[in-house]
Amino acid sequence: MARRAPAVDPEDSAQDAGRGPARSAAGLPGVAHALRQSWEQMGARRGVTTLRLLNQTDGFDCPGCAWPDPDPKHRHAAEFCENGAKAVAEEATLRRVTAAFFAEHSLTDLAGRSGYWLGQQGRLVEPMVRRAGSEHYVPVSWDEAFEIIATELAGLASPDEAVFYTSGRTSNEAAFLYQLFARAYGTNNLPDCSNLCHESSGAALNETIGIGKGSVTLEDLEMADLVLVVGQNPGTNHPRMLTSLEQVKRRGGSIVAVNPLPEASLRRFRNPQRPSGVLGAGTPLADQFLQIRLNGDLALFQALSRRLLDAEAAAPGTVLDHEFLTGHATGFDAFAAHLRTLDEADVAAATGLAAAEIDELARRVLAAQRIVVCWAMGLTQHANAVATIREVVNFLLLRGNIGRPGAGVCPVRGHSNVQGDRTMGIWEKMPDAFLVRLGAEFGFAPPRRHGHDVVDAIRAMRDGRAKVFIGLGGNFVAATPDTAVTEAAVGSCRLTVQISTKLNRSHAVTGQTALILPTLGRTEIDVQAGGPQVVTVEDSMSSVHASRGALPPAGPALRSEVAIVAGLAAATLARRVGQTGGPTAAAPASDASGRAEAPEAPAGVPAIDWTALAGDYRLIRERIANVIPGFDGYEEKIARPGGFLLPHPPRDAREFRTPSGRAVLTVNELTVLRVPPGHLLLQTIRSHDQYNTTIYGRDDRYRGVRGARRVVLVNPDDLAARGLADGDRVDLVGVWTDGVERRAADFRVVAYPTARECAAAYFPETNVLVPLDSTAKRSNTPTSKSLVVRLEPRD
Ligand SMILES: Nc1nc2c(c(=O)[nH]1)N[C@H]1C(S)=C(S)[C@@H](COP(=O)(O)OP(=O)(O)OC[C@H]3O[C@@H](n4cnc5c(=O)[nH]c(N)nc54)[C@H](O)[C@@H]3O)O[C@H]1N2
Ligand SMILES: Nc1nc2c(c(=O)[nH]1)N[C@H]1C(S)=C(S)[C@@H](COP(=O)(O)OP(=O)(O)OC[C@H]3O[C@@H](n4cnc5c(=O)[nH]c(N)nc54)[C@H](O)[C@@H]3O)O[C@H]1N2
Ligand code: SF4
Ligand SMILES: [Mo]
């Protein structure tokens, strides 16, 4: 059904927008800001208790980003950052969204509210249903909710008409059960937020080094001679990474930032964990800042590698790591031949950099024995993202900068357990080896057809090929591209289900029947039949550890994600697909191992005692250890403070599990993204006061933007060329090959020192501009960092 678009937020006045980038990040203002927000939402005493346990070995894992914790011996009493505190406060808030709230607010009302307003209403505490045709959610029992879902799933013509989405906060245990459920039901339709995020990194790394994960530990990063921070804004999105970068400086290493925006955090960092950091001027971080054009990175890395080849030619045997290239790698000759044709004019056009700047960087590279390249969304969300990351790998392989201390690839992951969820099997195209082991462990034949990723899932819903959507966390309609198309696609479903902690737009834009299943968050105590439970998570550097909630649940009706998934699975799998109203499960007879089986599972459906698994998560971990390499001794290993490191063959032994058994140098075409006259490239980014679609506030402190989100940052010369000035109001109008006009209305222009022709604005407001079909080659990730737009003045 058609719904009102969220109003252009009336509170978003933009009065004070645009003071320019700050000179440093963190320090006292950061900490004070964090605590003020926590106090308001949590109450002071609760705030202290909660934050004391954040990222401690006996506490809970930060629900913010996936940055790793230091080794337990080196943890501070306050091992968190401002944005970690905000993420905790958002979850630990004392505000509640009750049945009375839904009686008062119709769906149309909710659909007209901003994401900020929805999030501010507090925690979801009761299961709710919106029945077909109704304007309101009403309370529903858990059993009835599971029955509604089971009935819809059983009524589908094929299991592939259901979509099981996951956002990256889900624990390993819940993720493992969820993918098991989807596959036991009969589909690999397991899209996740990773499809929108680091999919390009996974694709490039799997192909070139044989594993889709970063190869460095915190220690490696801190002992590097040179760290390149490319397409990443750590001061906002991975704040404690700055502590490691500061270490790099203290040990005499250097840091180079490559970014169209002069992000404050990379200039100077005031470490809030040291008195001098809180009070002083801070540590200058970046030794060199390359203000690159959007999407110029492939060209930059080719130009760098070309300089290395030239230096080697000038002084043979001194630059390249021949031993590594001949002993561990393949593809060098074709790669080198290709780079000999590199045209410096193309490099200049693509990067907007002077040759001298690249020369300077090349000198730093030649002086460095150990190099780490870190990156995030600035590399992954472009049409040629996979090729760009392959080019990063080429660059590192030339000097053997992988699989030795202080060197390697460091894709910095977003959501706190997004990497773990993949390890657990949340992927629409898990390799056959995994499916075989899963099938053997649980006695069934998992489907082999690849499932839908996020973009394909939207297409399937749009075209009537998918009819049921279940979201384990996240905010699907707001986080995904082409908002109008996606909202209509989701709206055409028979049933949408959101397993959530907080209210968001995906609860307002729903299928005919909609369910909200409220769940416990990371901060909360999780007690099941077998007693208090811990869950486990994996950080960006493949370290797995336990997380134990500390606060009483936000309400008595809440269930853990594990319990919800188990409830869903038990109700659904008791029926045969295609047989509405099939047999319901008899009460399962379980033994202590959780292996005892529900007696009458329909043919082809594995007999799994979901209730027993949900009663004691150790039983789930046992099954994980049987299926996934690296988890043997899981229970003992997570009992150790700090947890354990998963195997990573290139990191551990310079072993590359590619078809050739070697690391692969690749050949990538350089295409220069040219902007049509009068247009700009637009990137869609995060402000300092948001967590993806969760909006904490309207400030973007380090960029000097206050009280406004509908702003577009544009280089002053580009403004002048268009006869525009700081403060003008414009519509952002997207142009793409499909000829459809996509418009984000009423933005305020902020004159900002971004690279020429490269503008920036915040998502999710700008997701209306991202065409569904504009995706990265091979990873299918939306190109949300390079959209061609024009600014249309409003009167
Ligand atoms: N507080 C907070 N923390 C978060 C999140 C959050 O929303 N809030 N989100 C989490 C998630 S899921 C993720 S994935 C990460 C995201 O972490 P980031 O990737 O740091 O997030 P973005 O805001 O998308 O910033 C992209 C950065 O890349 C730069 N960039 C854009 N395009 C290009 C390019 O073509 N080349 C280069 N060299 N640079 C470019 C931008 O200017 C910007 O600095 O953060 C995680 N942590
Ligand atoms: N234009 C544009 N679009 C983007 C991006 C971009 O840079 N530009 N970035 C993309 C990226 S990198 C990502 S990762 C995606 C993020 O996409 P999602 O992961 O789908 O979105 P989030 O905003 O992180 O989801 C927030 C919601 O998750 C729920 N939640 C929070 N904690 C929990 C929990 O512990 N359990 C459960 N079950 N639910 C919980 C809450 O209800 C909250 O409202 O967005 C993508 N979209
Ligand atoms: S850096 Fe990330 S994981 Fe660490 S405290 Fe901050 S938000 Fe949490
Ligand atoms: Mo992400």
Task: Please count the helices (runs of H) and the strands (runs of E) in the chain.
Answer: 32, 31
Q: The tokens of 662 are what?
A: 């070697």
The residues spanned by each domain of the chain are 124-196+417-542+557-650, 199-414, 680-793
Two domains, one topology: 199-414 and 680-793: no
Measured distance CA(760)–CA(79) in Å, rounded: 32
Look at residue 587 in the predicted model and tell me its pLDDT. 37
Is 297 near ligand 1, meaning CB less than 6 Å away? yes
pLDDT in the model for residue 576: 61
**Burial annotation 113-134 (CB, 10 A radius, 16+ → b, else e):** bbbbbbbbbbbbbbbbbbeeee
- 600 phi and psi angles, rounded to 5 deg: -120, 70
- Interacting residues of 280 by C-beta distance below 8 A, sequence separation 6+: 270
- The better pLDDT of the pair 175, 279 is held by 175
Relative to the alpha carbon of 90, which ligand is closest? 2
Strands 729-734 and 787-793: antiparallel
Q: Is the pLDDT of residue 13 over 90?
A: no
Ligand closest to CA 295:
1
**pLDDT at site 280:** 55
Among candidates 64, 47, 46, which has minimal Cα distance to 55? Answer: 64
Q: Which residue has the higher pLDDT, 604 or 751?
A: 751
Amino acid at 191: P
Write down the pLDDT at residue 434: 98
Per-residue confidence (pLDDT) for residue 3, from 0 to 100? 56
Pairing outcome for strands 123-124 and 96-97: parallel
Q: How many angstroms separate the Cα of 746 from the Cα of each of 9, 377, 726, 788?
A: 10, 26, 14, 17
Which amino acid residue places its CA nearest to atom 46 of ligand 1? 414
Q: Whose CA is nearest to atom 28 of ligand 2?
A: 474
pTM of the model: 0.94
Contact 441, 627 (CB under 8 A): yes
Residues 377-385: what's their mean pLDDT?
A: 98
HEC profile of 652-710: HHCCCCCCCCCEECCCCCCCCCCCCCCCEEEEEECCCCEECCEECCCCEHHHCECCCCC
pLDDT in tens, 521-530: 999 999 999 9
Q: How far apart are CA 688 and CA 335, in angstroms?
A: 40
The closest-lying atom of ligand 3 relative to the alpha carbon of residue 65 is 2
Name the residue of 86, 192, 196, 498 whose CB sits within 8 Å of the most ligand 2 atoms, as the mutation to test its pocket: 196
How many CB atoms neighbour CB 724 within 10 A?
Answer: 18
Q: Is the dihedral of CA 237, 238, 240, 241 positive or negative?
A: negative
Place of tokens 């990371």: 522
* Rounded distance from Cα 769 to ligand 1 centre (Å): 18
How confident is the model at residue 133, as a pLDDT?
96
Q: What is the average pLDDT across 483-498?
A: 98
List all residues whose CB is within 6 A of at least one atom of ligand 3. 55, 62, 64-65, 67, 80-81, 83-84, 87, 238-240
Q: So what's the pLDDT on residue 644?
A: 97
Average pLDDT, integer, range 600-617:
88
Does the pLDDT of residue 580 top 60, yes or no? no
Confidence of residue 216 (pLDDT cuts 50, 70, 90): very high
Write the CB contacts of 143 (distance below 8 Å, at least 6 apart in sequence).
Answer: none
Return the pLDDT at 595. 46
Q: DSSP code of 764?
A: T
Does pLDDT of 29 surpass 80?
no
Mean pLDDT of 661-670: 98
Q: Which ligand 3 atom sits closest to the C-alpha of 416?
A: 3
Q: What is the mean pLDDT of residues 335-344?
A: 98
What's the rounded Cα separation, in Å, for the pair 357 and 370?
21
Lowest mean pLDDT among 80-89, 96-105, 275-284: 275-284
The Å distance, Cα 628 to ligand 3 centre, comes to 27
Give residue-wise pLDDT tens across range 671-715. Answer: 999 999 999 999 999 999 999 999 999 999 999 999 999 999 999
* Span 777-795, pLDDT tens digits: 999 999 999 999 999 999 7
Query: What angle separates helix 432-442 from helix 617-627, to the nearest 10 degrees?
Result: 130
Per CATH, the number for 199-414 is 3.40.228.10
DSSP assignment of 118-150, as one string? HHHT-EE-S-EEE-TT-SS-EE--HHHHHHHHH
Say yes or no to pLDDT of 142 above 90.
Answer: yes
CA distances from 39 to 51, 92, 469, 524, 553 (A): 11, 10, 36, 18, 18
- 272 pLDDT higher than 70: no
pLDDT of residue 20: 76
Amino acid, res. 238:
H
Amino acid at 623: R
Strand duo 531-532 + 527-528: pairing: antiparallel
pLDDT band at residue 51 under the 50/70/90 scheme = confident
Helix (H, G, I), strand (E, B) or coil at 458: helix
Residues 323-335: tens digit of each pLDDT: 999 999 999 999 9
- Assigned token pair, 28: 């006292």
Mean pLDDT of the chain: 92
With a 6 A CB cut-off, is 475 part of the ligand 2 pocket? yes
Asked if CATH classification 1.10.630.10 holds for the domain at 680-793, the reply, yes or no, is: no
Q: With a 6 A CB cut-off, is 500 part of the ligand 2 pocket? A: yes
pLDDT band at 43, cuts 50/70/90? confident
Q: Provide the pLDDT for residue 596.
A: 43
552: DSSP letter? P
Q: What kind of fold does domain 124-196+417-542+557-650 have according to CATH?
A: Rossmann fold (3.40.50)
How sure is the predictor about 586, in pLDDT bands with cuts at 50, 70 and 90? very low
pLDDT of residue 287: 94
pLDDT (mean) for 413-426: 98
In this prediction, residue 470 carries a pLDDT of: 99
Bridge pairing between strands 513-518 and 495-500: parallel
- DSSP-derived secondary structure letter, 263: -
3-state secondary structure of 795: coil
Per-residue model confidence (pLDDT) at position 32: 62
Give Cα 84 distance to the centre of its chain.
15
Q: Is the CB of 114 under 6 A from ligand 2?
A: no
User: Using a 6 Å cutoff on CB, does residue 90 contact ligand 1?
Assistant: no
> Cβ neighbours of residue 123 under 8 Å, at least 6 residues apart?
91, 93, 95, 96, 97, 501, 502, 518, 554, 555
Q: Exposed e or buried b for every residue in 341-378, given b needs 16+ CB within 10 A?
A: ebeeeebbbbbbbeeebbeebbebbeebebbbbbbbbb
* Residue 450 · residue 189 · CB < 8 Å: no
Q: If you measure from the C-alpha of residue 785 to the centroid of ligand 1, how many angstroms do you get, rounded to a whole number?
A: 10
Q: Is the pLDDT of residue 585 over 50?
A: no
331 lines ligand 1 (CB under 6 A): no
Find out whether 111 and 510 touch, Cβ atoms under 8 Å.
no
Cβ atoms of 598 and 611 closer than 8 Å:
no
**CA–CA gap between residue 699 and residue 687 (Å, rounded):** 7
Cβ(377) to ligand 2 under 6 A? Answer: yes
Q: Which residues pair with 129 in a beta bridge?
A: 138, 515
pLDDT digits (tens, 9 = 90+) for 95-122: 999 999 999 999 999 999 999 999 999 9
CB of 550 within 6 A of ligand 2: the answer is no
Percent of the chain with pLDDT over 70: 90
Q: CA angle at residue 595 from 594 to 600, to 5 degrees? A: 110
Q: How many residues does the chain have?
A: 795
Cis (ω within 30 of 0) for the bond into 650? Answer: no
Mean pLDDT score, 191-195: 98
Q: What is the pLDDT of residue 30?
A: 61
In this predicted structure, the answer to whether residue 25 has a pLDDT above a threshold of 80 is no
